[in-house]
A and B are shown apart, each in its own frame.
Chain A
């Protein structure tokens, strides 16, 4: 790629320019200007981030089949608006360490997770997963490794990784989930050392091992990696989501841990029930919080 094209890429929707701008705004914008500015920025990206908008509209058509196309456009805007708040509040936590209100649903499972000698946190592109990792590390004083889908702009990836690690004050480590990488061995090693690994399990990008599943009656590809990892390391999987309740207010939702037993049968047979449990949890959470499902890439298989 030529230097001029690489420079221009920084201004793309997921380019590094917007990440730097967000940091600058977090330092400079008084809190009372946020509501109006967020509205206009959401509108801006709603029009210019067309592939993301189409993906959200596609998801909404499946999640809310009775909703009209016009209503879904409004709902897609609401999703963009929630995303704007979510990333800006994560930046506020990271850069100016403002206090956030949060409540916990499933506190006993969260305490179990905090004390677990190695566990997998399975989450989705939902709510404020970046803020969640930092809050978790702070609350339990534990290290957490966050596995993310790679960013299209390497400078964005670098910036995002550094930001997350800074917000977790060294307790959050970021890894990128790329096909063919030796990441799974690193993660297995981390789990065996008693660390917590957080993985997004609502979508399997191409090139990654996936298992077909039914979400809202449509076929999706869910990643098998977290389940295989849990089985090999013999650690539980905790479904965990950070949902935004309102202005600087969050809900940490933890569901019953999922065990992946190791029997004499083949691996797929052991994994299948665990995937089914995760699918049910995911479907329920998406149905309740469709406006916070930030799946900006198509996930459902459509019958053309």
Chain B
């Protein structure tokens, strides 16, 4: 096996790795992390649009049809958002901002902001949907706090120390 690359991307997981004596550098090589965050974002977007778009008084079969179609709509929506975000990043760079950050990290920040805004909207819904939004917001808050911890430590730059 070749050398092991850094394990986590998100600050919260990197801080946990740091406390357990692991590598706190940022890496994109963790499949489980990708699946977990990707599915969480998809779920929040799906529930957000389901609540906003699908009327409550439809027949069961029509609601089911809409829910299936929504799964594909989210995919199309994501493709559009990726394109829109890339234009925003270009504009920001043109204004002299975020010039040293790679495009996909800029996208990552914008996706985080958008999903968090959707999670805020979910707080107005029924209890279980509210819970979903709360879990996301808590995770974002903990991640930001972890980013602060990493910013004040050398661990992210000196792996394993």
Contact = CB atoms under 8 A, between A and B. Distances in A.
A40 interface: yes
A34 B42 CA distance: 11
Interface of A: 24-25, 27-37, 40, 96, 98-103, 246-249
Given A32-B41, A99-B29, 5 more contacts: A27-B103, A34-B34, A34-B38, A247-B29, A247-B31
A128 to B, nearest CB: 15
B29 A102 contact: no
5 contacts: A28-B82, A37-B78, A40-B72, A99-B3, A100-B2
Interface residues of B, number: 33
B104 A31 contact: yes
Nearest to B76: A40
Contacts of B108: 30, 32
A211 B105 CA distance: 51
Contact of A248 (B29, B85, B102, B105): B29
Contacts, number: 83
User: Which A-B residue pairs are the 9 nearest by beta carbons?
Assistant: A247-B31, A32-B37, A99-B5, A31-B28, A30-B108, A40-B75, A35-B38, A103-B1, A32-B38
Contacts of B72: 40
A243 to B, nearest CB: 14
Name, among A31, A246, A247, the residue most crowded by chain B CB atoms within 10 Å (CB to CB): A31
Interface string B3-39: 1110001000000000000000001111111110111
Name, among A27, A32, A34, A37, the residue most crowded by chain B CB atoms within 10 Å (CB to CB): A32
B136 interface: no
